[in-house]
Every structure is written in C-alpha cells, then in structure tokens.
Structure 1
C-alpha cells in the first residue's frame, strides 16, 4: 500500500496546505511557539503533558478505525493505548482524502485501514523523530541513542516524559524519510490484547451520536415524503397541525420532494407531520409491484445479455454429460441501522454554518451545503459525530439527508438551528435499498465430473451509474459492482462466460454491506456446492481443485482449509448438517462453515459458525473478530427473513416487526480464526458478510431444500 507522493512531499505539503485550517500552524506545518498543544502533522497532536491525539480521517460507525488508526500512531511514537486519544478530522479533502477515492474524503468499501496504514504510520514516525531530535538537542546527545517507550524519552543515561519536548519539537522540520518500526519491534500492531478506545464511552452512555445533538433554541424538522419513489408535492394543508402544541410551521422544500414540518421537539414534529394533509403529484412515481420487478429481472436473464463481461471462449456445453442449472433471485433490502438518519445545521458567528452529522462522506455534504446555502467552502464546517451503524446508508452519492436538512434550513431565517430527524419508518419505507438482482447459472460437466463450461447471467439495478463514482466503477457500460465476485473470481473455471443486463430501478439504490458481493458471493458459492455434489465430490475438495497457483487462489485456499479444519468439516454431530462457503471481497479472504440442526419444515437452528479470515496484517485482532462476527450476523440475519416488497410502488414494510433483524438466539456461536500475514492490511468491515448466507444455504441444501429464492422463508425454510 503506497502513497502517491513521497513521504517528504506528503508530510510537508499536506501540513502547509492545511495551515490556514489548523490554528497555530506555521506555513511549514509546525506549530507556532507558545501553544500548549502541538499539531506536529495533520494526523498527530501532542500536548505538553505528553497526551497524544490521533486525528482520524475515517468516521466511526462501529467498525473500529478510531482504534485502528490510533494504534498505528501510538505504535510509531512509542506510547501506550492508555496515552492516546482520538478526534475526528475536519472536512478537508486536501488533507484527509481517502487515498482510494481520489480527491474525496470519505469512509466506505472497507478501505479505512487499507488506505491509511502507511499514511498513519509515517505520521507517527515523523512525530517520534522530531521529539527525539528535540530531546537530543536538550541533552546534548545523538538522537539515534534515544527512544520513546511508554511515553518516556530514554537514553544517554537520562529519562523524561515526551511532553517535555513537544514545544521544541514543534519548531523542527519533519524528516524527509521517517524511519518506520519493523514488525519485530511492534508491541501494539497485531496485539490481541489491545481493546477499543470507544468501548467505555459507549458502555457508560457518554458517547455522542448525531441523534444526541440538542442545541439551544433548535427546531426539529421531520419531512412528509411521498409513499412512492418519484412523487412530488402538489399541495398541502396544515390546518390540523397548527393545533398541536410545539408546531411551528410547515413548508414545501424548494425541490418539491417533501413537506418540512418544523416543531419545538421531536414528538411535536411527528404529531404535526401526521396531521398534515398532502396532495401528491405521482405522474412520474413508481407504480410497480415487487412481482413485476422480479418478473422483469428474471425475464432479462433469458434474453441476450446487454453487456458481455468476460472475453473467454464459450465452453462446449453441448458436450456435457450433465448440466447443472439454477436461477437465483435476491430482493431489495434495507440497511436499517440502529440509529436512524439525522443531522443538525446551525449558523456560526462568522456567517458560516456547522453541520453536526455522522458524516460518512464529508466532501459530498460539504459541497452541497456550500451550494444550497450560497456559502464559500471555508464557511461550511462539519463536526463529525459517532454513528450508530450505517451499512452503506450514510454514504449516499447525492448526500440525500444532508441536502434535505440544508433545504429545510435555507427556507428559514437561519437564526435557529435545524435538526432533521428520520424515524425508523422513514428509513425502511422511504430510504435507499440494496438493489434487486437475479442470477442464472448453467454449468456443464464431463462424464468424469470436470467442469467444461460455466455460463453466468446477471440482471439487476445498477448502483453506480448516474453517480459521482460512475467514472471509477463503470467501464464499457458495465457497472463493476453488479458483477464483482463473479467476473473476478479466483476460481479457475473452464469456458467461463459472464453477461450482464441492467434493469429499471424500482427505488433509489445504494451500496449495502459488501455491495455486489452480497448476491454474487451467494450465487457463486451455492452453485459451487451444487456442481460439486453433481460431480460426486466433497465441496471442500472440489473448491480446492479449482484454485490454481495465483496469489489470490493460494490465500483463498488457505482460509478454506483453515475453516474446514477448525469447523471439523465432515464430522458434524448426529442430527446436524454443515455447509461451507469462501469468498474474496475488498482484498480479504473469508471462509465459513455453518453447522445447523433441525430441518426446514420444523425449524432450522444455526448452532455454530466457524470463520477463517486473511485480511493481511491484522492491526487489531479484537476488532477483526468483532467485524467478522457482525458481518456474519448481518448477512445471515437478512437472508433468513428479510426483503423489501412493493405494492403499487409503495413499500410494504415499515419497522422491525415486519423487517426483522437478527435476534440473539438465531446463532448459537461464532468462532473466528485469523491467518497471520505480512501482506498489507485489507478490508474487514464487509468481507464477513458474503460467505455467511451461502454457507447457511449449503447446510440447508444437505437437508433437501435448495434455497434460490430469497429470503429463505420464501423457499419454505422455517427457523427455530
């Protein structure tokens, strides 16, 4: 993982570019004399007591970057995890861009550690170097004879807290090539005893989320939106709302997409919104039922593909001794994070505004607020808060809910803060969804059970087309997120052909935890099991036989073997069934064995999930295990029972009673094993999700039910 600039170029130019935004910084990036806290570079601040603060450019929605990136800085400086704090970076793409997103500041695609690993280590190493140089000058010794251990500068027969040298260090130029610690010197990176920095505040209730913002004199805004995607406001009557205590006013947003109801508190806003009478213009709205959408996707699988994704020669399907064929359907899915969407805008004394938000993609709302409120970019500030989950929902390309808040704020006199609040029902019924997809897979086998041809058709609703990410993710008309996990599979498959057809979107679509891998991983791994059984071979052995000598294939084989070993593959207790799946996503490799009891008619119980993961260097093993557990629960929880359905374009589900999340009793145990690696860190927030559902499906298939029409309850599977 490398930077696009040299270390010198990064450390000097980045600090200089942000000097105007960092109070007390000299143009060369060092802190001016007289400050109590020195910001030695864009990612490291240290006060005169030796307390280190890591500036975290990736927001925290539960996936752990606040701990992971702080670990890198603490390791390189030489402090303990008890001696470092963190704060979220301001919105400044010049300094804090995601290196995988070009000039865009944001968190997503499981890239936080992957794109920041070297960047944060270099920042910590540069801070250590200037502190040691300052100490060397003070003591009259060589800097090379000194070290920092647990926050103490030691060497030359002397010892002192590093805070004693912060002011002098702030006057020194960052080194051209800061020397990084070697893996043999690591005390924190890879240490399973390192625990999360945010556990205490989340446990004692002091953690501040966007929903917790309550500013003096604020107004709460809730929006009345059309039930059908694409509807617009024609007119409204708020006469009944005016009688509700706390109601302030109602107004149509400038884009006619909703009616904003302003009130003194959230309850009054809810009650006032319910009292509105709104006439909707539905001339351009979605009117299809889910059955029509499904029929259109399945029909698209039968015709010629719109795009030829692979360029390989077609295999000799007509020479196959047997053909294994299956069609899979994946419905719309909601993200349903625990904290519904919310953000607050307030005016600043300098004529600008501050957005308080669990900002997953700060650059988007920053630009949107500047445009809507007609402010220069430097007059818009974003205070990034903790977020209670996201799973992709807070990373909208069009900054949807922040735009709503900005429009609602713009049509006031801007003297009172405006807090936009979405209810759970707003999110489930009127949000953005994992798009619906269909897969039709046809595999020809020789008489000896060898694959001769693999024909794979995919049809569904593009996520990336029409967004700011189109240039990066769409090539030759092919949205890569629609086919990832199939077109780039590490399996060696003779006669492998993939085709894609885009279908009309039923709603607003959005990436969902693991994006395209959420359906491609299922189709590939469920099909591998079906083909293995048709060939009369063990599913693990069959997979290994189709993994070659490439680096990816070897890593995929390693996790597959480890999961099989730790999951006691092939030796399930009496009355139990096992299923296995393995998948690469976001640079990481995860294999899972699901062990179940019961049967689809009387109720399936998931007894255990055994996972093996290769995510490169596991900076925080405790966080890695937590993310795998969360990914397993998220993937399995949704595939068991969940779907978003439409009737006449109206979403049928509204809250957790009819869009049911995973319950604590649904999975008996999850066991995670991490493969030691010297490879650069790769993603971990999402890779646990793709193999979880097909591993469960493959276990159920052993009881006689092949699940291809999701969710599983739609194929007659009951759960205990």
Structure 2
C-alpha cells in the first residue's frame, strides 16, 4: 500500500507541475462568454461585448459602473471605432456577471512596484495577476482602471465583429473580404454594393470568430479622440435615467435604519410602542452588523417619510458600544505619534544609504505632516432595493461590485448565487463608498422580513456620514539633506496610519487579517513618485485602530501627495531654488513628467506677477503627482480673505494620461477631481469622540460651492500611448498646490489638512438658514 506521505508528496509534485504549466499559459480569452448573451427582438450577439439588431442598432455590453465618470461613453467609443459603427446608432446595456468582465488592471495597479520599475519580477507578477483575475477575480469598477483595463478587449471585440460582418458581406456577394471596406455602420464593395450592419448581422453570426485581428493605429481612429457627449446624457436631461434611489418596483415598501452611534456597536434593546400609527410602520427589528459595518434598528413602512421619521425619532434604542468606545481623535493622533516614535516602518522603496547621506549633507530639514479621516459623501445617499420571493432575489443596486454584491446577498438570504439577479443602476456618485457591501447585505436582510414585497432601504445623510468606511488618518515625517550646490542628496519619509486592504479582504472576501505589511495603498503617492535622489528610504508603519477605513477617491495618493509635494517645496526653499526648477532638476530621467511640469508652468504664467481680483494679493503654488498611470501637474492661484479664509481663484491643470479617448471626459474628470480635492483640502475632516463620528451632514462636512469655485483650465498632453486613469489623478495635486501657494503668499507653512483655519470653518453658515452655523464637538483624549 502506498504510504500517506508518499501520496502527499506525489500529489504536491503533480500540483506543482500543474501550477507551472498553468503559469506558462497565456491569460484566458476575454472575448466570448460561457453562456450566450441574452438578446431581444432581432438582436444577434457577435461576441460577449456587442449585439446588433436588424435596424443596425449596436448594443455594447457594459461591465463597468457609471457613476458620473463617463466610463460607458469612453468604453463604447473604443469598441465602436474598431467596429466602424455609426455612433448615432450605438447604445449600451449592462453586462451579465461573467468571467470575461472581471477587472484585471486595478489589481495589477495594487502591486507594490514603482511605475518606472522595468524588472522581470514586475512583468512576471503582472502576467500572473492577469491570469488569476481572469478566472478567479471579480467584476468591479475602481482604481481609475476601466479604460486602461478594457482598451484591448473592447477594441478586439469591435474588430472581431467587424471582420465577421465583412465576412458575411463577402459570402453574400461572392467577393473577397479584403476588397470590402466598412464605415459608419455599412459594408461597401468597390462594385457599388452596400449593406448595413442590420442586413448582415444574422449572416455574420454564422461566421467563425476570428482567432486574431489587427487593431487600428491611431491615424485610423474615427471616433477615439473625439470630444463626444456622454452616451447617457439624453436620459439625464429628460429624467429617464435611473439611479439606485429611482428603483420603484410594484408593491414597493420603504425602510431605513438607525445604527449604533459608536462605530462597530450593536443594539441592546429598543421600544417601538410610541410610533404613531399615521407613519404607516409595518415592522421594526434589529439588524446585525454586516461586512464591517455597525448594528442597528430597521423600520419598514409604507413610505419613506414614515420609515425615516419612525427610525429617527421614536425608537429610543439602547446600545452595546463597540471596540471604538472611548476612542477620540486626540487618542488616534497620539497613537500615530507613538508609532512613528518607535517604528521605522516597512520600506516600500530604498536606494543608497540615507543615514550616511544625511550625516554628510551640507544642510538638512525635517517636517511632520498630518491628514484627517474623510468621508466619501456622495450626493446620492446609501440605498439598495431588494425583493426576496419564492427563494429568489432581485437586487436593484448602485454598486461598484456587482459580482460580490450577488455573493453576499445570496449568503444573507441562504440561497444560491444563481438565484440572485443584480439589476445595475446608475450611481449618483461613489468615490469608493460603493465598493463596500455593508448596505447591500443589510438591505437583503431587511427584505427578508417583508413577506415577499420589494423594499427600498435608504440611509439618512447623518447615518451615511457617521457610518462610512473612511479615508485613513495619516501622520508623515520627513528628513532631507542637500549638498553645497543645493542638490538633493538624501530623502527619508516614514508615515503611519491604518491599512485599507487587510480590512477589505476580511469584510468583503472573508479572508483572515494576517497583518502583513504589504498594503501598497498606505504608501502610494510617497514611494512611487519619479523624483531622482541617490539616497532614499520611503516607508510606512501600520497602526491598528477600530475605525473602519476604505478606498477613498485616489486612496493613499490623496494625502501622500500633500505630504510629499509640500515637503518638496520646503526642500526647494532650503536650497534657495524656484519650486519648478528644483523639481525639474530631479526629473532628468523622466521626460514625460518634466514635459507635464513645464507645460503647467508655462500655461499658468509661472514666474510672472499674479493679477489678483481688485488688487487682492495673490500667489501661485505648484504640485506634480503621478497616480493610476497618469501624470498631473497643477498650479493654484490663491489669496486670503479678510477673515483669513482661503480663496482659490484659478487652477491650471496639465495631464498626460496616454491616448485621450474622449477629451471632454478627461476635462470633466479633472474639473470634478479638483473641486472634490479642494473641498477636502480646505474644509473637510472627520473627528471622533467616544467612538462616535461628530460630523452629520454637508453643514459640517461641506462641499465647494459655485460661489467659491475657482476658474479651472485643463490641458491634455498629446499621446498615442495606452490610456491611463483619469477619474482619480486630478485629486492629489490640488491640496499641495494650494498649500504651496499659501506659503508663497504668507511665508507660513501649513502642515495639516484641512487648510482653512478652524474658526473660519466653524463659522460657515448653512445656506438654508444663515443664522445656523456648523459646530464641531471636540473630544479630549480618553483617560
């Protein structure tokens, strides 16, 4: 008999051989689905990405969430260009959950390599990630990865369908396919014969799918590169667009929740006896914490007013406080300081000998920077509609994670994933909040109590603000040294804060938290920037805190850019050099970055006097940052109002994002990112007292208003390179650009966000009631 050890060793050897063989194979195809696409009417699916009807309508499958970034338009343009479709006949449809739609690029971007790393180990890691995510990944929208991820698959799908249409025409006319041409949704032969896509699509479906297609070169693009309007714009104009909150299935009930004010807490008991009958309450019950969230009480009612009023005013719950009880913002800051005092952190990038270089430096400088927790605060509050009936569930969700949404709904309801139908809705903003699944699992649990009727669960703005997964607070320390000529010779940076990825892997994927120090998002924006210095060490020290943290628009770049670019200005001042020229001296091996920097300086009239309004004294500040594959430089023109509030008059933005698929979308995302970034840079922070978030609404977590929005100019660098991220890279540079302008204006350096003085922020009036002002409760350190 074979011994057990022999069997195990043999099995391990066989598994090793299989793994090696699997890793050597190319990534699996992303063209055809495992099951035929659903079609209606005369539609015919030519592959997993495109269907064509007899009236020549081209329907392009969308596996990415549209949350205002224009991704449906950009992706449709890529496929339509290779198809040579008539753009006026193109529409989009949400794709089913299938492996070919799994996101690859966002996982690739999470690998801990610098952008300028060209090592074999990086290439191998990317190869393996692409293979793994194709078969075992999930369909997600995030990390500014959509166009980057699907640049090749969407174009191959369009080119493949085009070849099949040409093949159908050639067979119908008995001519050579090579002699046929395609333009604006029609196939033409030199003999004068012409056929529309609709006339050919049934025959085309009988053609073999090409194994290999030739893609267009940029000179051949007819749609890519054009400033076309958003494909969903008409529906938003006429009101037919459907966001998550617009789901209104027949028989709809409404629900809302009141969750424990202390993060991570649960309900001890509550009293529903005082709820007035006129509120139409149908049921009240306790809901546990889901996916890293907080427990609470739910109310189902006939209308949303009744649900919100009952849950907010009448339940009087008592709570079991969670692990965050007694935790204050001061405690958190003390923990960050303590960590940096004793922990040198995990080094994400090292070169040379920083200690020796600092010892011999001609002049040295050090600094410490801080950034607070931030909420996502999308305009559309958290909501989800679920119907659970006859062992099946329909979910109307505005989510960035449809694959995992289906999985967690199935888990909550105790049914198979095949019995969960995810109906994707438009997202009224997300910024990373809708990567979380707490509210979807909670909505499923609530619908389970509704007796088969659909229930729309909607959080109040207060619940949304106080039960988010926040951008981590972070503390960062720097040391730098220059030589006698003012050249940077040493740079040390260590930051401290929570890690997002371990929390996400636990609450979303159910994996154990192994406390590994390899979460790249903690140090991105610090270790992966292009500045050339012979001696560098960039590290991060991980801090465990009972505060839920998540991916916030631009993630680690959002605060690390502020730290790095502000300190870069400090070093330039120490060297007695202009901030632009000092940066340029550190980019000799990075011509693209240098070109973006120079373009921003020229477009903003850097070095010339700033013409402030009505003689107001203004100054400029600059910042440059690479994130999600794109290089962005911004120049801010800033003044101070008489009450010392910061006024940003103008922001000049230059971006190199590779091929500009749609310049309008790029400009819009840069504008939106700058406004989003300015809101957080000037006024926003989340503070805690006894484990409770103090901010409740836009009154004390404000967004920039039209009256204070600066003029924004966007310049797009010409490029034929692979397209890179656009949705997030506009955010990181704006805070340091403003801070550096304030230094140029006042000679005082700002080391903490937000930049507005506290007394100015606390006096911001409520537009609806000018007599009412925001108040910020501050909690002392816990004893």
The residue correspondences of 1:491-506 to structure 2 (distance < 5 A) are 491-506=531-546
Q: Distance in 2 between matches of 1:689 and 1:544?
A: 22
- 1:75 is aligned, of 77, 81, 103, to 81
- Classify the secondary structure of the residue corresponding to 2:503: coil
More displaced stretch, 613-622 vs 665-674: 665-674
CA RMSD of aligned residues (A): 2.4
- Normalising by structure 2, we get a TM-score of 0.85
What whole-Å deviation, never above 9, does each CA across 1:211-256 have from its counterpart, x for those lacking one? 0111221221111100011211111111112534211110112558
Identify the residue that residue 102 of structure 2 maps to in structure 1. 97
| Matched residue, 1:627 | 669
Q: Which residue of 1 aligns with 2:124?
A: none
Alignment of 1:419 with 2:459, yes or no, is: no
The alpha carbon displacement at 1:412 in A equals 3.9
Cα distance change of structure 1 residues 47 and 559 upon mapping to structure 2, 3 Å threshold: same
Counterparts in 2 of 1:641 and 1:367: CA distance versus 1, 3 Å: same
**1:105 match: secondary structure:** coil
Q: Is the 8 A contact 2:469 2:549 kept in 1?
A: yes
**Post-superposition CA distance 1:242-279 (Å, at most 9, x none):** 53421111011255822111111110001110210211
1:59 aligns with 2:65: yes
Structure 2 residue corresponding to 1:197, chosen from 219, 223, 231? 231
For residues 170 and 420 of structure 1, the distance between their equivalents in structure 2, rounded to whole angstroms, comes to 43
Who is 1:557 aligned against? 594
> Partner of 2:12 in structure 1?
none
1:164 to 193, 199, 211: 199
List per-residue Cα deviations over 1:349-408 (Å, max 9, x = no partner): 7x4211111121111111111122122221111111100100110002xx1111111111
Could you tell me which residue of structure 2 aligns to residue 516 of structure 1?
556
Out of 586, 596, 603, the position equivalent to 2:628 is 586
Partner of 1:131: helix, strand, or coil? Answer: helix
Equivalent residue for 1:224, pick from 258, 266, 288: 258
The structure-2 alpha-carbon separation of the partners of 1:337 and 1:577, relative to structure 1 and needing over 3 Å to count, comes to same
How far does the alpha carbon of each residue in 1:331-352 deviate from its partner, in whole angstroms, 9 at most, with x for none? 0101100101111112467x42
Matched residue pairs, number? 695
Partner of 2:35 in structure 1?
Answer: 18
| Residue of structure 2 equivalent to 1:707 | 750
Task: Give 1:714 deviation, angstroms.
Answer: 4.0
| Number of the residue aligned with 2:423 | 383
Counterpart Cα distance in 2 of 1:4 and 1:113:
27
Task: State the 1:664 CA deviation.
Answer: 1.4
> Does the CA-based 8 Å contact 1:230-1:285 persist in structure 2?
yes
| Contact in 2 for aligned 1:90/1:381 (Cα 8 Å) | no
Taking structure 1 as reference, are residues 231 and 9 closer, same or farther at Cα in structure 2, changes over 3 Å only? closer
Whether the 8 Å CA contact 2:739–2:750 is kept in 1: the answer is yes
| Partner Cα separation in structure 1 for residue 234 and residue 24 of structure 2 | 37
Task: For 1:188 and 1:294, locate their aligned partners in 2 and report how far apart those are by CA, in whole Å.
Answer: 51
How far apart are the structure 1 equivalents of 2:456 and 2:487?
A: 61
Any gaps of 5 or more consecutive residues in structure 2?
1-22, 108-132, 612-616, 765-783
Q: Which residue of 2 aligns with 1:28?
A: none
Structure 1 Cα separation of the partners of residues 724 and 220 of structure 2 = 22
Is the Cα–Cα contact under 8 Å of residues 577 and 703 in structure 1 kept in the other structure? yes
Residue of structure 2 equivalent to 1:30: none
More displaced, 685-694 or 255-264?
Answer: 255-264
Q: Report the CA distance between 1:576 and its aligned residue.
A: 2.2
Deviations 1:159-212 (A, max 9, x none): 2221001111112221111222221111111123x1211122112222110101
Q: 1:28-76 CA deviation, whole Å, 9 max, x = no partner?
A: xxxxxx9610011111011000000110110100111100111011111
Answering whether residue 303 of structure 2 is matched by residue 265 of structure 1, we say: yes
> Which ranges in structure 1 are unaligned for 5 or more consecutive residues?
25-33
**How many angstroms apart in 1 are the aligned matches of 2:512 and 2:527?**
17
Instruction: Name the SS for the 1:280 alignment partner.
Output: strand
Shift of 1:452: 2.6
Selected match of 1:338 from 354, 362, 379: 379
Shift, 1:308, TM fit: 3.3
Q: Distance in 2 between matches of 1:476 and 1:374?
A: 32
Distance 1:474 1:173, change over 3 A: farther
1:382-438: CA deviation from partner (whole Å, max 9, x where unpaired): 111100100110002xx111111111123443x111211112111111211111001
Matched residue SS, 1:360: coil
> Is residue 407 from structure 1 mapped to residue 448 from structure 2 by the alignment?
no
Report the equivalent of 1:183. Answer: 218
Q: Which residue is equivalent to 1:41?
A: 47
2:502 maps to 1:465: yes
Post-superposition offset of 1:573: 2.6
Is the Cα–Cα contact under 8 Å of residues 605 and 666 in structure 1 kept in the other structure? yes
What is the CA–CA distance in structure 1 between the aligned matches of 2:269 and 2:515, rounded to whole Å?
42
TM-score, length of structure 1 as denominator length? 0.92
1:638 maps to 680
TM-aligned CA distance change 1:476 to 1:270, over 3 Å: closer
Preserved CA contact (<8 Å) 1:517 1:585: yes
Asked whether the equivalents of residues 529 and 539 of structure 1 are also in contact (C-alpha less than 8 Å), the reply is yes
- In 2, distance between residues paired with 1:257 and 1:4? 47
